[in-house]
Amino acid sequence: MFSKSLFKQSCKANGIMWTIITVAVCFMLCCVMLISGNGNLGDTKSVLEDAIIEGELDSQVQRRALNYYELADGALCHFDNTFKEKYVAAYTQALQSGKSEAEAGQIASVTAYSLAAEELTTYYSALIEQKGYDENSQEAQEIRGVIFYVFNPLQADGTYMFDSFYTDLGEEAPRYNTLLATISEEGHADERDKYVMTNSSIFLAGNMVKDENIQSVLDVLSEYGITKEKYAEFGFSDYGNVKQKSLEVLVNYRANLEYRLENIKDGETVESIKAEIADDLAGGLLSVLPQDMFDALQEVGQADLYGALIGSIFFKMAGLLLPIIYMIMSSNALIAGQVDSGSMAYILSSGTKRKQVTFTQAMFLISSILVMFLCTTLTSMICFAIVDVSTELTYGKLALINLGAFLVMFAMSGICFLASCYFNRSKHSMALGGGLNMFFLVATMLGLFGSPVLPSIIRMEALNAFNYVSIISLFDVVSILDGTTTFIWKWAILLAVGIICYIVGSLKFEKKDLPL
């Protein structure tokens, strides 16, 4: 089946061209991988990415701040009401038992305070039940923390429960009791609000800069792939910064709320107004941009440019050009060119069967392309090891991409080989083999602009039609990079096309007349 002498002859005839092209392709690959890997690939993209991430982190902080504020304020409001109730009851009772006004007042305050403080626990339990949280859940603990840390209860032994938390942060420990003195006055609500605002912000900031909490925030925003370093870069690990953000949003919130409640319209409830203001202030980028735009920006931000460059641009287009040229010229030189010039007569008159000729030449063509892509695989692996870039590419995926490129070349070389076996004239063989495959390549280039590889913002959907007329589209790089398996059945088609073409070509060559 195999003729060693013919194989040798083919090697000698095509060896130089093969070497030049392989070296050129590997060199180009090196340049592409190393230069773009160490450069600033997509600076604009990073800026965009950062803007989106920062916006989302801001939004997180602001929402929490508003949430804590409302929780604490609600709790303290309840406390106030309970306090007033119990105070009146205790005061009356003290007077009745013969204490002086001043004494009664004193006793009443203390009694009312402790009763109302106890009451808070019940309030808390009712609240978490209403919200549907389990007592031991994180959300419940959070709410508990907010309420009690802000309230900072006075304990039986005269110390305040959470003083150390505040002093550790360099802040003054809050004293709600001082505000209780003015509880009946008009300005009390305002004072209470300010108290809550200040201390809930301290609580928020103090907690948010703790490691375990940072991690939970990162987990919530895991889809953005934010690292701790990036997080710190944006300033969210800085206590003062976070506290400032919280205070800012709360000031805005209170001002807006006051105005809206004074000018409440028909159909609006306090809840709906509060929700609206919260969305407005803490909505992040999503609230400003339409969904499509936001999705598009997110896509750009998350686009793996390096993977797209290597996989889709190099191994599906630019890097295939030289191997295709080699393939066109060598497949013609192996059969049709020799029939055209007449030198095939020497091969056949030496006793080599036609079957041997096609088999040997096919083997040469396929193996030369295979070795070429083994070289590119090796080169790409080495370059990937040298380069340090954030990308979805792995060694495994690189190997798959190289294999995919080889399979595309296998199928296309099948077409060239078929043309070479079918025609007796070089020009016909190159016209079909070369023309068709060049068309595929150009179609793929145009189709790239309409494909999912490019972010939707710069995609030109209409050009996607070209992807349907090119055999190179069966090389699904996007699928490989994403880690799905759709690329496998497409490879099966490529393999089949190649095998069929080689077989049909060989059969045709065996049966046809040769003008030698």
Partner 1 sequence: MTEPVIEIKDLTKDYGEGRGIFDINLTLYKGEMLGFAGTNGSGKTTTIRNIMGFLQPTSGAAYVKGLQTWKHSSEIVKFIGYVPGEIAFPDLPTGTAFLKSQAEFLGISDMSYAEYIIEKLQLDPRAPLKRMSKGMKQKTAIVAALMANPEIIILDEPTTGLDPLMRDAFLEIIKAEHAKGKTIFMSSHMFEELETTCDRVALIRDGHIADIAILDEIRNRKIKEYKIEFVEESDYRRFKETGYDIIRDQPQYCQVTIAITSEQLNRLFHDLKEYQVKFISEVKYNLEKHFKTVLNREKEIKTNVQ
- Please choose, from the candidates 206, 120, 213, the residue with its C-alpha nearest in 3D space to the C-alpha of residue 165: 206
Query: Is 430 one of the binding residues for partner 1 (CB under 8 A)?
Result: no
| Least distance to partner 1, CB of residue 412, Å | 23
Long-range contacts of 80-85 (CB under 8 A, 24+ apart): 80/183, 80/188, 80/192, 82/112, 82/115, 82/116, 82/119, 83/112, 83/113, 83/116, 83/180, 83/183, 84/112, 84/183, 84/184, 85/112
Stretch that binds partner 1, among 6-14, 52-60, 133-141, 425-433 (CB under 8 A): 6-14
Counting residues that bind partner 1 (by CB under 8 A) gives 29
Q: Does 349 bind partner 1 (CB under 8 A)?
A: yes
- Contact status, residue 459 vs residue 438, Cβ threshold 8 Å: no
Rounded to the nearest whole angstrom, what is the least distance from the CB of residue 10 to partner 1 in the complex?
A: 9
Task: Please identify, among the stretches 1-9, 27-35, 468-476, 486-494, the one whose residues bind partner 1 according to the rule CB under 8 A.
Answer: 1-9
Q: Tokens at residue 260, please?
A: 């809206």
Q: How far is the CB of 12 from partner 1 (least distance, A)?
A: 6
E strands along 54-157, which residues?
Answer: none
Give yes or no for residue 429 binding partner 1 (CB under 8 A).
no
Give me the least distance between CB of 382 and partner 1, in Å please. 34
- Give the largest CA-CA distance in the chain: 136
Percent of residues in the chain assigned helix, strand, coil, to nearest 5: 80, 0, 20
Task: Output 360 or 413, the one with its CB closest to partner 1.
Answer: 360
Stretch 326-345: interaction string toward partner 1, x if CB under 8 A: -------x----x--xxx-x
Total residues belonging to the chain: 516
Task: Give the ranges where 236-343 is alpha helix by DSSP (H).
Answer: 239-262, 270-282, 285-288, 291-302, 305-307, 319-334, 336-341
* Interaction of residue 516 with partner 1, rule CB under 8 A: yes
- The radius of gyration computed from the CA coordinates of the chain, to the nearest angstrom, equals 38
Complex with partner 1: residue 221 or 348, whichever CB lies closer: 348
Q: Which of 98, 170, 267, 351 binds partner 1 (CB under 8 A)?
A: 351
Residue 425 interacting with partner 1 (CB under 8 A): no
Decide if residue 81 touches partner 1 (CB under 8 A).
no
Tell me the closest approach of the beta carbon of residue 367 to partner 1, in angstroms: 19
The DSSP result for 131-144, as a single string, is HT--TTSHHHHHHH
Determine if 346 is a binding residue for partner 1 (CB under 8 A): yes
Tell me whether residue 13 or residue 154 sits nearer to partner 1 (CB atom): 13
Q: Which residues bind partner 1 (CB under 8 A)?
A: 3-6, 8-9, 12-13, 333, 338, 341-343, 345-354, 356, 511, 513-516
